[in-house]
Structure 1
Amino acid sequence: MSDAPVDLGWMRLLVEVDRRGSLSAAAEAMGLSQPAVSYQIRTLEQRFGCALLLRLHRGVRFTEDGRRLLAVAIRTVEEVDGLERAIKAARRRPAVRLTTDYAFSGLWLIPRMQAFRAQNPDVDLQIVASQRLGSHWRDTADVAVAFGHRSTFEEGAKLLMPEKVVPVCAPSIRARLQLGVSDDLDMVPRIHLDADPSSPWLDWPAYVAESGIGGNLGHAAGDLRFNTYSMVIQAALGGQGVALGWLGVVDQLLEAGLLVVAGAEVEVPDRGYWLIAANESSPTAQLARWLEAESGVGWRRDERSETAVR
């Protein structure tokens, strides 16, 4: 007797015989001739060394051994058919690819991902984060959320979040400052975001100049420096010092009381996070609409002012 593995092509044949009740009906359903089906059944019975079907006057009936084999065949065929449907459905699901920076993706987008998925269950979202938006981002993405000045982006870009910056820190650090006095920021370490000179966002020296609080908070003993904004915020959450907080990006941390406002707000006109769509596909439009709606729910000015003087 041959030791070659059993050919599995017979499984669907057995399932069709069971469904149709006869070899001729199974042959028609599978696009085969009745002699071809009969031959496969005889070959299978020879392989197993037992009768699998009883030939009746009309149709066939499975023997006990045939039923045992049929149960295996049914399970396997159903699993394979289900897997095929799932794979095809996944390939048909629309997907939209978003590129943005580490701060927006880690602090704003990811905490809100469940909301997007709940509202758009048929759209797969892929996120690609980098420090700055590359010039050829359209080659790999459908939507971009990028930080910069209005003049940086082409016509059609929409401002999601204007640049509004306040010093933020853990509540334990805020307690060391005099209530509402920004000049006391020199009493605690500052947390800096290291960036190249062409970076479009405010740093501590620029914040001091824009806020008009006087002094020089650009460099001081004990200050900390990180090369990603997520690390800056993690240090602030850990009570390591005061960081610049971009309102919109850190709103949820402020609302939860994990961070508190520790100074005056500075707003830079025509600068902030901009939404740019590379195409007009339906998934792209769905994501763009959601981003616009979600970014419209921001940290209110009266809430910020109240927190700053607590």
Structure 2
Amino acid sequence: MAKPSRLPALHTLLYFEAAARHLNFTAAAAELGSTQPAVSLRVGQLESELGVPLFTRRHRGVSLTADGARLFEAVRQGLDLIGEVTGEILARRRQPLLTLATDFGFAAYWLMPRLPALREEMPELEVRIITSQQAIDLRDEVIDVAIAFGEGHWPGCVAEKLLPESVVPVCSPSFLAASDWRRETIPWAEVPLLHLERPTPARWMDWPDWFQRHRLPDHHPGHDLTFNNYPLVLQAAMSGQGVALGWLPLVQDLLAGGQLVSLVDAPITTPRGYFLVLRESTRLTGVIGRFRRWAREVCANGTQEQAGPGGTSA
């Protein structure tokens, strides 16, 4: 169906719709906060523009002509649709929004599996997750809360440790099965290692740290691979490319599901870890306070799980 060259003015259609719904110009004027002559004038202008009468004027009121009835139905459908869409938009604006900043690894391997539980706890909450390889800047007013890896010191912020750094080497079961190692006598100098690139100064454990902690000789890279985010490190480990440092609980589900196996029974734990970080000015009310309580409870219930960097820190 061809579209008209132009639509009548919206305010004119609103006057017409009210008059057609009431079949009374005076009642329409009262609803619109106008006057009966003004309604009559608007309707007359619309009839002149269309070139047809829309109402049959009677001594006691008006009735719609056939053309008026068709136009009234079209206008009503249009206004109903506009009302429905604007209602949805307003409802979404009223829905509480929490913008959470974290790193790739934490988002992928800790947060994502727990989002259903968060939705169950706060079904009305809309969560916006921002991930970054770079340091998270909490001066960005868009961010409500961060879960960041570090030592607990962020200027102008308060930080509460959720999960400590706890690290164990991991690899795929097939990689381990294809080797002739014994866990007690792993030839680390021959093992292809998977590295997570870290900034300077160092903010989380790397392989040199791990070897030093275990009083092992320095490893001389041969077939090592280095990645700039933690999910890629774990993907390489699961595909049998080598051995990675596994931060708990980021790898906890992968270990439980058999995608990865640990090569050492006792992980190394440090004072670092994942912290819930808020600006000092943040009020612990509303969705921020509720999310903080939820995160604390989930981490407290998983006291056996440990944590580490997912590829970035704040």
Report TM bin, short chain.
0.7 to 0.9
- What is the match of residue 112 of structure 2? 110
Q: What TM-score do the two structures reach when normalised by structure 1? A: 0.83
- What is the match of residue 237 of structure 1? 238
Letter in 2 for 1:220: P
The 5 Å alignment of 1:22-37 reads 22-37=24-39
Further displaced range: 23-32 or 279-288: 279-288
Rounded to whole Å, the distance in 2 between the matches of 1:10 and 1:118 is 48
Contact 1:247 1:299 in 2 (8 A): no
Matched, 1:203 2:211: no
Question: What percent identity do the matched residue pairs reach?
Answer: 34
Match of 1:291 among 277, 290, 295: 295
Rounded to whole Å, the distance in 2 between the matches of 1:182 and 1:20 is 90
Match of 1:137 among 136, 139, 147: 139
Taking structure 1 as reference, are residues 274 and 71 closer, same or farther at Cα in structure 2, changes over 3 Å only? same
Contact 1:188 1:242 in 2 (8 A): yes
Contact 1:51 1:63 in 2 (8 A): yes
Further displaced range: 238-247 or 77-86: 77-86
Taking structure 1 as reference, are residues 134 and 45 closer, same or farther at Cα in structure 2, changes over 3 Å only? closer
- What is the match of residue 225 of structure 1? 226
Unaligned runs of 5+ in 2: 306-314
Matched, 1:63 2:62: no
Rounded to whole Å, the distance in 1 between the matches of 2:157 and 2:99 is 21
- What is the match of residue 168 of structure 1? 170
Q: What TM-score do the two structures reach when normalised by structure 2? A: 0.82
Contact 2:104 2:231 in 1 (8 A): yes
Rounded to whole Å, the distance in 1 between the matches of 2:235 and 2:196 is 12
Over aligned residues, Cα RMSD in angstroms?
2.8
Contact 1:210 1:266 in 2 (8 A): no
Matched, 1:273 2:274: yes
Spell out, residue by residue over 1:146-165, the C-alpha distance to the aligned partner (whole angstroms, 9 max, x if none): 21224668895222111111
Taking structure 1 as reference, are residues 274 and 57 closer, same or farther at Cα in structure 2, changes over 3 Å only? same
Letter in 2 for 1:168: V
Unaligned runs of 5+ in 1: 302-310
Contact 1:182 1:262 in 2 (8 A): no
Taking structure 1 as reference, are residues 11 and 18 closer, same or farther at Cα in structure 2, changes over 3 Å only? same
Contact 2:96 2:126 in 1 (8 A): yes
- What is the match of residue 309 of structure 2? none
Rounded to whole Å, the distance in 2 between the matches of 1:56 and 1:20 is 14
- What is the match of residue 195 of structure 2? 192
